Amino acid sequence: QVQLVQSGSELKKPGASVKVSCKASGYTFTSYAMNWVRQAPGQGLEWMGWINTNTGNPTYAQGFTGRFVFSLDTSVSTAYLQISSLKAEDTAVYYCARDHGGSYPSWGQGTLVTVSS
Amino acid sequence: DIQMTQSPSSLSASVGDRVTITCQASQDISNYLNWYQQKPGKAPKLLIYDASNLETGVPSRFSGSGSGTDFTFTISSLQPEDIATYYCQQYDNLPTFGQGTRLEIK
């Protein structure tokens, strides 16, 4: 069955960088786009963007350009989210979610990134 | 960006009640609308896709309807395990989520 397994929680200082991984299994990785969704503490879901797993071309939502980078390693069926110059307001749970015709039936378990001095 | 206005933001209902949540899009999105359930500390779960299609394995008490700009999500008979936050999500253009509806048991 489809599984998305994300890397563990991270505690970072402001200004640092973090790279979250999302390892896929149970399907052909390059056949479905991967989305990233942010959820700040006590807040709703926010779509960050997606990456075409066939071409590697990313698309970023407004507010997620510049410091946020989506990447892939198709040899290990893994998508990555890197955030640079971390700020306190980046503290959130980050989810990867496999696209299926615009809906997201499969999600990773989430990765908590905490930014604190 | 397409804005999704979801209401109510919170809702308290009794077991067995019929519960309805609405989502309004800022422009016509045809039927490009999904509904998710999220329980505390868990990833969201897809319940309804393309406005009215029940995802495999989801109980039939959940349903969705609508097209264009106005959509409705219904739980026909509320069960204790349905306590969660529910989100709509459009994908006509760059995807956006509604702000969520927190459902509690009265």
What's the average pLDDT block by block, 10 residues per block, for chain A (117 residues)?
98 98 98 98 98 98 96 98 98 97 97 97
Alpha carbon A74 to chain centroid distance? Answer: 15
Please tell me the distance from the alpha carbon of residue B38 to that of residue A37, in angstroms, as a whole number.
13
Beta-carbon separation of A61 and B43 below 8 A = no
Q: What are phi and psi of A100, to 5 degrees?
A: -145, 85
Please tell me the distance from the alpha carbon of residue B27 to that of residue A103, in angstroms, as a whole number.
19
* pLDDT tens per residue, range B53-68: 999 999 999 999 999 9
Residue B34 contacts A where some CB pair is shorter than 8 Å = yes
Q: Among partner residues B38, B43, B95, which is closest to A47 by beta-carbon distance? A: B95
Residue A60 contacts B where some CB pair is shorter than 8 Å = no
* Average per-residue pLDDT for chain B: 97
CB–CB of A3/A25 below 8 Å? yes
Residue B98 contacts A where some CB pair is shorter than 8 Å = yes
Strands of A15-77, DSSP E: 18-25, 34-39, 46-51, 58-60, 68-73
pLDDT band of B71, cuts 50, 70, 90: very high
Beta-carbon separation of A47 and B94 below 8 A = yes
pLDDT (mean) for B28-35 = 98
Please tell me the distance from the alpha carbon of residue A102 to that of residue B55, in angstroms, as a whole number.
13
pLDDT (mean) for B61-81 = 98
CB–CB of A105/A1 below 8 Å? no
Cα–Cα nearest to A22, from A61, A73, A67, A69: A73
Among all residues of chain A, which has the CA nearest to that of B94?
A61
pLDDT band of B93, cuts 50, 70, 90: confident
pLDDT (mean) for B78-100 = 97
In angstroms, the separation between the Cα of residue B45 and the nearest Cα of chain A is 7
Residue A58 is encoded by which pair of tokens? 């990313």
Q: What residues contact residue B88 under an 8 Å CB cut-off, 6+ apart?
A: B4, B6, B21, B23, B33, B34, B35, B36, B71, B73, B97, B98
pLDDT (mean) for B8-33 = 98
